[in-house]
Amino acid sequence: MKEAKILFQKLKIVSLLDLALLIPSSYKDSNLSQTIELGKVQTFEAKVENVSFVNGRLRIVFYLLEFDKELNSMFFRVTPYHHKLYTLGSHHYIQGRVEEYNGNLQMNQARSLQKIGEIIPKYSSVLKDSSMHSLIACYITEQNLYREGLNAHEVSTILGLHYPTNREQIEKYDKEVLKFIEAFNYIKKLKGKRADFPALASLNGSIDTFIENLPFELTAEQKMVIADIKIDLSSSKKATKRMVIGDVGSGKTMVILASAVMAYPQKSILMAPTSLLALQIYEEAKKYLPKEMTIALVMQGKKSEGDYLEVDFIIGTHAILFKEDIPKAPLVMVDEQHRFGTKQRAMLESMMASEEHKPHFLQFSATPIPRTQAMMQSELIDVSLITTTPFEKDITSKVIGKEDFSELLEDIKDEIAQNHQVLIVYPLVEESREIPYQSLEEGRGFWEKRFEKVYVTHGKDKNKEEVLSEFRENGNILLATTVVEVGISLPRLTLIVIVGAERLGLATLHQLRGRVGRLGLKSYCYLFTNNKKNSRLESFTQTESGFEIARLDLKFRNSGDIVDGTVQSGIQFKFLDLADDEHIVNVAKERLKSL
């Protein structure tokens, strides 16, 4: 048992189905061939008809009894063993690749087999084949596979691949079975990782007045998510763990505020990744939350507002994590959760915990994931999707090149004339020989010479948040790197140019495009590239749904892992296609429920 555990670790697997899915890479088939097929490795019953030497090489003429044909075999490295083995008139079962030479059948270096009638799997793994065979023989049994929850068809497919008795089992097996087992195994492992704890408190604050007083109608999906959270928070037996994934501009902030109202009169905390985002949510909270709810803003330096020790709702950056006297709150929320490490999120949760009681924990993300991934993730954490926006966005997306530049300049002038703003995203800050595009520093002179109120910022700029705030109020053009990808609201922004767009993932392009048209203004997203015939960029321009883009992103690159933020680009499914196999994931989830 101990030895098996070491072998499992070497193979980097943890479950029996992980082992079952290590399908042989090839097979050694010693069944007698029924036909002669050129170019294939075949096995025949043969008799030695002639033995001779040609230029120091041993030449054997075999007679194939089943086919009444002769076959030549040359041996290049001859040993006394060969002379002893291939005597005139001796019988053999020979195996090798069959070719034709000068009209004669040929099988060079033919091997004489001791046993025939077997198909032996060969595994490409870190273990020796003998160790793999022992592991498989020990664990991959009919009884064990049924015990794991597989049905008869799935069990026989897996057994047929590991212990084949005929070619059909390895050449014509049902590929969907491996996809299903991979999904089923993954979801099962996720479910095993989930641990539920009792909540610090049951939260039942009424949100009716808050929703009635909003100057706009919430979307059907916002209402649905709020209803889910209401059920979550009312439980004292189980602290909720929910991830709310909203497309860019889908109105997640209103869900955050509604959750804080449900927690009232108890306390709630929201942690955001940047002070700009925290300030933005703080402004919205002051505007929409009931007047009796008190709010504080916690940030580094002197930017904080209100007394966080006394208020009902604390909004802040990771500066919250360094306040040792932060009050216990039974509701904790994290915005743009993927911008924080797993450890930071866990730290906030544990600061609020009391013995085995934990706070209700809501995480928000504006990075849509494919539905299949969301369905799987919901075994580990409850998932809500907001796929619609409060108003219809009107964005024209277009792939452009150098030849379209003068037209682009005219469009930029038009937008500025209407008191709109323009964002130009460069792939890097300083010149690089590696990248065939201008950098931010190389490009800025051109724009500063031709336009007024041009602002510049990037990831390493210590004043980037001040620059963005000032641009929001006064600027015409902002030159930046992808630092503006997440969160910041620029209501007058209507045109974005992304330089070297093919270098970025579709999800990042979608986040950047999400900066324009926040208030429904007619907007434009130009993807500037040296290669206009790019099918990935072309498909991006055809859709504005973040969830569809996440699906396309998967089609164009391998999926990232969701079990733990620290291995974002980790797991790759070998058989399952997250972009297209939603129905398989559905069946796997249903099967798991019924077990």
CA–CA dist 31, 26 (Å, integer) = 15
The pLDDT confidence band at residue 560, using thresholds 50, 70 and 90, is very low
pLDDT for res 486: 53
Please tell me which of 130-134, 158-162, 585-589 the model is most confident about, judged by mean pLDDT.
158-162
Of 527, 519, 526, 280, the C-alpha closest to 419 is 519
CA 265 vs. chain centroid, Å, equals 39
Distance set, CA 166 to CA 145, 187, 252 (Å): 21, 32, 57
For domain 41-112, give the CATH superfamily. Nucleic acid-binding proteins (2.40.50.140)
Helix axes 582-594, 175-193, angle to 10 degrees: 60
Give the model's pLDDT for residue 459: 72
Ranges 105-119, 316-330, 390-404, 563-577: which has the least confidence: 563-577
CB burial of residue 247 (10 Å; 0-12, 13-18, 19+): buried
The predicted-structure confidence for 98-118, as pLDDT tens digits, reads as follows 999 989 999 999 999 988 888
Looking up tokens 């790759």 gives 572
Query: How would residue 130 be classed by pLDDT, with cut points 50, 70 and 90?
Result: confident
What is the average per-residue pLDDT within 407-417? 93
Q: Is the pLDDT of residue 54 over 50?
A: yes
CA 261/CA 118 separation, integer angstroms: 70
- Choose the most confident range, by mean pLDDT, from 431-440, 482-491, 586-595: 586-595
Whether the pLDDT of residue 378 is over 80: the answer is no
List every span in the chain annotated with CATH 2.40.50.140: 41-112
Output phi, psi for 121, to 5 deg: -70, 145
The pLDDT of residue 191 is above 90? no
Question: Residue 339 has what pLDDT?
Answer: 72
A 10 A CB-CB count for 234 gives 14
pLDDT for 557 equals 59
72-86, 261-275, 387-401, 403-417: least confidently modelled range:
387-401
Residue 360 has pLDDT above 90, yes or no: yes
Q: Of 526 and 389, which is predicted with more confidence?
A: 526
């189905």: which residue's tokens?
17
Residue 50 pLDDT more than 80?
A: yes
Question: What average pLDDT does this structure show over 521-531?
Answer: 92
Residue intervals in the chain for CATH 3.40.50.300: 208-386, 395-543
**Angle at 581 (CA atoms; ends 13, 15), nearest 5 degrees:** 15
2 pLDDT band (50/70/90 cuts)? low
Residue 454 has pLDDT above 80, yes or no: yes
Q: What is the mean pLDDT of residues 541-548?
A: 83
| 395-543 carries CATH number 3.40.50.300 | yes
pLDDT band at 562 (very low <50, low <70, confident <90, very high): very low
User: Looking at residues 187-205, what average pLDDT do you find?
Assistant: 86
- Mean pLDDT (whole number) for 462-468: 80
Q: Which helix (H) or strand (E) holds 410?
A: helix 405-417
355-368 mean pLDDT:
87
Element (H, E) at 185: helix 175-193
What pLDDT does 565 receive?
Answer: 31
- What's the whole-number mean pLDDT along residues 264-288? 92
What would you report as the CA-atom Rg of the chain, rounded to the nearest whole angstrom? 33
pLDDT of residue 566: 29
Cβ pair 192, 219 in contact under 8 A: no
At 283, is the secondary structure helix, strand, or coil? Answer: helix
Pull the structure tokens for residue 98. 């069959």
* Mean pLDDT score of the chain: 86
Instruction: Provide the percentage of residues in the chain whose pLDDT is more than 90.
Output: 44
What pLDDT shows up at residue 37?
92
What mean pLDDT comes out for the span 242-251?
Answer: 83
Helix, strand, coil shares of the chain, percent, nearest 5, are 40, 20, 40
- Report the pLDDT value the prediction gives residue 563, as an integer from 0 to 100: 31
Query: Environment class of residue 36 by beta-carbon count within 10 Å: exposed (0-12), middle (13-18) or buried (19+)?
Result: middle
3-state secondary structure 3-25: HHHHHHHHCCCCCHHHHHCCCCC
Instruction: Let me know if domain 208-386 sits in CATH 3.40.50.300.
Output: yes
Higher pLDDT: 212 or 368? It is 212
What is the spatial order of strands in the sheet that 111-112 belongs to?
Answer: 99-101, 104-106, 69-75, 57-64, 41-54, 91-97, 111-112
> What's the confidence (pLDDT) of residue 196?
83
pLDDT band at 462 (very low <50, low <70, confident <90, very high): confident
Residue 561 has pLDDT above 70, yes or no: no
Q: Residue 278 pLDDT > 80, yes or no?
A: yes
What are 329-358's pLDDT values in tens digits?
999 999 987 777 777 778 888 888 888 899
298 neighbors 342 (Cβ within 8 angstroms): no
Q: Supply the DSSP symbol for 356.
A: T
User: How many other C-beta atoms can be found within 10 angstroms of the C-beta atom of residue 95?
Assistant: 20
Find which of 338-352, 367-381, 400-414, 513-527 is predicted with most confidence, using mean pLDDT: 400-414
pLDDT band at 569 (very low <50, low <70, confident <90, very high): very low
